[in-house]
């Protein structure tokens, strides 16, 4: 099916807000969203939304979202040839280094440095590749946390591609439960765990939130990492408290800088203590202890 790229130019701060709003609005349809810096000197970015089917309806929703953000932008259209753009775009991505972690595609295996923990994500199977500031922030934070703590049982809630679950398994050599609401993402997560030789440590399960019997069997967790979005994370605070061990750590991301205080307050109200916040590309990653 021919795909259409809806695109417009905006500033850096606006692009962050727009990306988050588009991601929340179009996540059920799985529409790809991209933000590209087009002029570093003037801080100008291009936002692209890839649509098929009823493109007019997608564009109308995009305009409504922009209006809700008080942003007025003319939206351009570009018809694209029938190409696997996810795989094509991933082939051009540079590998990501965050702490000791090296996230890469198959074409960059040889670029690993001595002492790095490599995580390979298959091109075309992308539900998080480490290139987004939230994933990279989580990787950096996880290394800091596990340098001081020795968790024995971990949970990656909303695992996506399982980058974070694989990172925990490789760094700590402990069992990790990796869950996601999307069964396709769970299949991808399992494939990536096999690809990275941690299948024996990473168990993948389709589960919305904490609604699955597996949590009763595996909890309490010494470490929970959740790279989702701010509002769902705030709603999950009581359940996080129910499933974390006393003294356990949680690492949260998918949170814009302006949302940080609200998220921290939600968890402080559940007897969590804020330890540190990492800032990366307009997003934050938060470490709290129970």
Cα→Cα distances 255→19, 59, 188, 226, 242, Å: 12, 26, 24, 11, 22
Has residue 120 been placed in a domain?
Answer: no
What are the start-end ranges of the E strands in the chain? 3-11, 33-39, 44-51, 76-80, 96-98, 101-104, 117-120, 154-157, 176-180, 202-206, 221-227, 244-256, 273-280, 283-289
Has residue 70 been placed in a domain?
Answer: yes
Residues 77 and 157 in one domain: no
CB 43 within 8 Å of CB 11? yes
pLDDT at 169: 96
Residues 6+ apart with CB under 8 A from 137: 98, 253, 278, 280, 283, 284, 285
Residues 60 and 166 in one domain: no
Residues 153 and 78 in one domain: no
Looking up residue 167, the CATH number of its domain turns out to be: 3.40.50.150
**How many domains, in total, are found in the chain?**
2
Q: Nearest CA to 7 among 57, 72, 78?
A: 78
Tokens of 29: 């349809």
Residues 157 and 60 in one domain: no
Give per-residue pLDDT as tens, 123-139: 554 445 444 678 889 99
pLDDT at 80: 79
Has residue 53 been placed in a domain?
Answer: yes
Has residue 127 been placed in a domain?
Answer: no
Q: Which residues of the chain have pLDDT under 50?
A: 85-86, 92, 125-127, 129-131
Residues 168 and 52 in one domain: no
Residues 182 and 56 in one domain: no
pLDDT at 213: 94
pLDDT at 214: 95
Domain boundary among 83, 99, 117: 83
Domain boundary among 83, 101, 120: 83
Looking up residue 75, the CATH number of its domain turns out to be: 3.30.70.100
Q: Supply the range of the domain harboring residue 25.
A: 3-83
Residues 271 and 189 in one domain: yes
pLDDT at 118: 86
Has residue 99 been placed in a domain?
Answer: no
Has residue 59 been placed in a domain?
Answer: yes
């Amino acid at each position: 099916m021919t795909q259409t790229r809806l695109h417009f130019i905006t500033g850096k701060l606006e692009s962050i807000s727009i990306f988050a709003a588009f991601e929340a609005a179009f996540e059920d349809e799985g529409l790809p969203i991209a933000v590209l810096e087009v002029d570093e000197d003037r801080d100008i970015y291009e936002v692209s939304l890839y649509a098929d089917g009823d493109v007019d309806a997608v564009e109308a929703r995009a305009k409504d979202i922009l209006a809700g953000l008080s942003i007025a932008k003319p939206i351009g259209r570009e018809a694209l040839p029938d190409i696997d753009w996810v795989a094509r775009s991933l082939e051009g991505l540079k590998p990501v280094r965050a702490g000791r972690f090296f996230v890469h595609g198959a074409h960059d295996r040889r670029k690993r440095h001595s002492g790095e923990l490599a995580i390979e994500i298959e091109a075309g199977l992308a539900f998080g590749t480490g290139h987004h500031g939230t994933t990279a922030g989580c990787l950096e934070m996880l290394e800091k946390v596990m340098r001081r703590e020795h968790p024995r049982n971990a949970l990656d809630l909303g695992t996506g591609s399982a980058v974070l679950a694989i990172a925990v398994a490789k760094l700590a050599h402990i069992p990790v439960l990796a869950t996601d609401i999307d069964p396709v993402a769970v299949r991808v997560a399992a494939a990536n765990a096999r690809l990275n030789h941690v299948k024996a440590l990473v168990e993948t399960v389709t589960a919305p939130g904490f609604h699955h019997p597996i949590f009763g069997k595996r909890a309490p967790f010494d470490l929970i990492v959740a790279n989702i979005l701010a509002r769902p994370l705030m709603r999950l605070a009581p359940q996080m408290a129910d499933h974390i061990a006393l003294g356990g750590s949680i690492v949260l991301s998918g949170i814009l800088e302006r949302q940080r205080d609200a998220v921290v307050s939600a968890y402080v109200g559940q007897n969590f203590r804020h330890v540190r916040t990492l800032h990366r590309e307009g997003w934050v990653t938060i470490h709290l202890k129970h």
